[in-house]
Copies of this chain bind each other. A is one copy, B any other.
């Protein structure tokens, strides 16, 4: 399995040495002590075990309410080299399981879309809990496509790019990496790869914690086998990661990148595709094990439910949430200021150079979210933005990680040709507000959510999104006044529901949850803005002011 044999290039950074390390340290280490060998099953046993596990997994979503297992899905990431037996392996799996219950998706890698995390576009292809999905390519294909472009340019520009002095400039150009690849210095791909791998691994951990379990399979073959198979007539002309697998230098470069990837991420199962049939059997064993592990780890343990371990320390309620200023601005002054600020905001939004903007509105019922959003969008073209009115999740949304329904609503370059501003009226913070208070999320789940949400927002900001978050605060007396006013105003009656009155009874729980949320998710990337809304008009101006300030600051940083 000496992949470096045909490496007759001297251009790239000693690929022989690295490939040798790949083969010796990484591959051998994980291939030799194959944990499945001792349990290796004959074909019929394996097949029965696969079907059994598949239906057991499916059954996890059919319990109402879930009593034995949490509803759980399995996402199988299939990556690695071209011509390494991936198709054969998945064909074999599909023959042995019920093919109708196995979803298969595939991409070959493409330029990651601007202004969005690499994983974002792929969240549309996620298994529902209860399903198994094999996803060829997935986010790693996009990452590898990008890294290979950088690394290949690197070899070409080797002489020109020896200066390592411009690390500051790189920071700025990162958001545009897909277009400005040539400007990156030669050592950049390693840093970029490492950084993206860290983010993706965190993303995957959050998937797994939220019942979309993962199995990551990396297929590889030695270069002789690869070349032999490429010479075969039936090869598809569209190559994985869109690189030229006929070119030994490119393959060597790929192996160098792959080595770096596999060194950093220890959770890949490496499958040698030289013998396609053996590789397929090994793959099926791994999928079986992953299904069984997913089932075992999703069992609902009664002991845990009876004695929940709570190490959660609620914060002291800050004054800003309870001591609300009642003064409001004079009406004519308000209208003048409103027009000014709306014009300024519209100007900034139009100057944002394609960056996506995400507004998050949270707050007590009747605190004026609707009114604030109305003033925010008034100067915009209706085609520029989407407003998402977030309520209780639907069943199919519950069959995914709780953030999934937000991932799939983010501005998306691929499908939203025009609208790239998303306004969320109630948000992912429902996890640590209503779901915490009503018990829809377990203690462990909502307590874990602060970090998950921070990672989610950090990924958005790192990709170039501008995230603007509001908590609209009101006091209990003022809320009552507004509820009563709603009951009396014909075109506002629809705004008041029984839920609003019920939430009001839990006023102090909401204030405590808001305080904990603010303390734990007020980050540099995505700071909260708490707005006192007893004075309605002043509050609307404050909302605009904060948006103007956040946009100015974000846009000046990216200049």
Interface residues of A (CB under 8 A from B): 47-48, 51-52, 55, 87, 90-91, 94-95, 98-108, 124, 134, 136, 370, 373-374, 377-378, 380-383, 386-387, 389, 394-396, 415, 417-419, 425, 490-491, 494-495
Contacts and interface: CB of A to CB of B under 8 A. Distances in A.
A121 to B, nearest CB: 10
A55 B494 contact: yes
Given A95-B378, A395-B395, A100 B425 contact: yes
A87 B383 contact: yes
A108 B416 CA distance: 11
B377 A108 contact: no
Contacts of A134: 382
Contacts of A98: 370, 494-495
Contacts of A374: 95, 99
A52 B491 contact: yes
Nearest to A389: B100
The count of identical subunits is 2
Nearest to A381: B87
B382 A91 contact: yes
Contacts of A415: 124
A161 B51 CA distance: 62
Nearest to A93: B382
A47 B491 CA distance: 8
A377 B490 contact: no
B51 A491 contact: yes
A394 B425 CA distance: 25
B425 A106 contact: no
Contacts of A377: 94, 99
A100 B373 contact: yes
A387 B48 CA distance: 21
A381 B101 contact: no
Given A491-B51, A494-B55, A107 B396 contact: no
In the complex, the 9 A-B pairs of residues with the closest C-beta atoms, listed nearest first:
A106-B383, A100-B389, A55-B494, A90-B382, A51-B491, A48-B491, A104-B382, A87-B381, A106-B418
A418 B51 contact: no
A419 B103 CA distance: 12
A373 B124 CA distance: 26
Contact of A396 (B95, B386, B396): B396
A95 B491 CA distance: 13
Given A98-B495, A105-B419, A394-B394, 15 more contacts: A48-B491, A51-B494, A52-B491, A91-B378, A91-B380, A98-B370, A99-B370, A99-B373, A99-B374, A100-B370, A104-B419, A106-B418, A134-B382, A394-B396, A395-B396
Nearest to A377: B99
Contact of A108 (B47, B90, B418): B418
Interface centre among A48, A52, A417, A491 (most CB of B within 10 A): A491
A383 B136 contact: yes
Contacts of A91: 378, 380-382
Given A134-B382, A396-B394, A387 B99 contact: yes
